[in-house]
Amino acid sequence: MAAEKGKKIIAQNKKAWHDYFVDETYEAGVVLTGTEIKSVRAGKVNLKDSYCSFEKGEIFAVGVHISPYEQGNRFNHLPLRDKKLLLHRREILKLQGKVQQKGFSVVPLSLYFLGSYAKMEIGLCRGKKIYDKRESDAKREADRMMERRMKGDNSEN
């Protein structure tokens, strides 16, 4: 029972963490069709280059690629169909207000199962400049070197 309630990550958007500063994260439910959920369970999801847009008080994930289900028939889904996200009204209004400010966007960060429900973690993000990306790459490389040295692997000396 405890394993069923656990978080099983299906896909992550690593490019989003590289291209953006993530200020806040939200957990949203995802409206999926039958063949889409089967493809998601098989792990055939790509979140790269996806973003969220607002229409008529609702939020949609655009550019999330879910491959067609192999055993699907004529009722199979379109791979790049916009997926409706389920959030509370006040959260949608808050995100929409922030996005209208300069430099903010809402980006899907990961797709996972929480129990039997498909959930998407979305982030309120600010874009990084080139020098910010270089700085974070340098910091990550320095951290790796420190870990390597702490373990005692001094093969680079």
pLDDT band at 153 (very low <50, low <70, confident <90, very high): low
Residue 103 burial (CB count, 10 A): 11
pLDDT at 131: 74
pLDDT at 68: 85
pLDDT at 5: 61
pLDDT at 3: 45
Using CA atoms, how far apart are residues 96 and 104, in angstroms rounded to an integer?
Answer: 10
pLDDT at 4: 47
Say if CB 84 and CB 54 are below 8 A apart.
no
Q: How far is CA 30 from CA 13, 68, 79, 87, 112, in A?
A: 16, 17, 15, 9, 10
CB burial class (10 A; 0-12, 13-18, 19+) of residue 29?
middle
Percent of the chain scoring above 90 in pLDDT: 20
Q: Is the pTM of this model over 0.85?
A: no
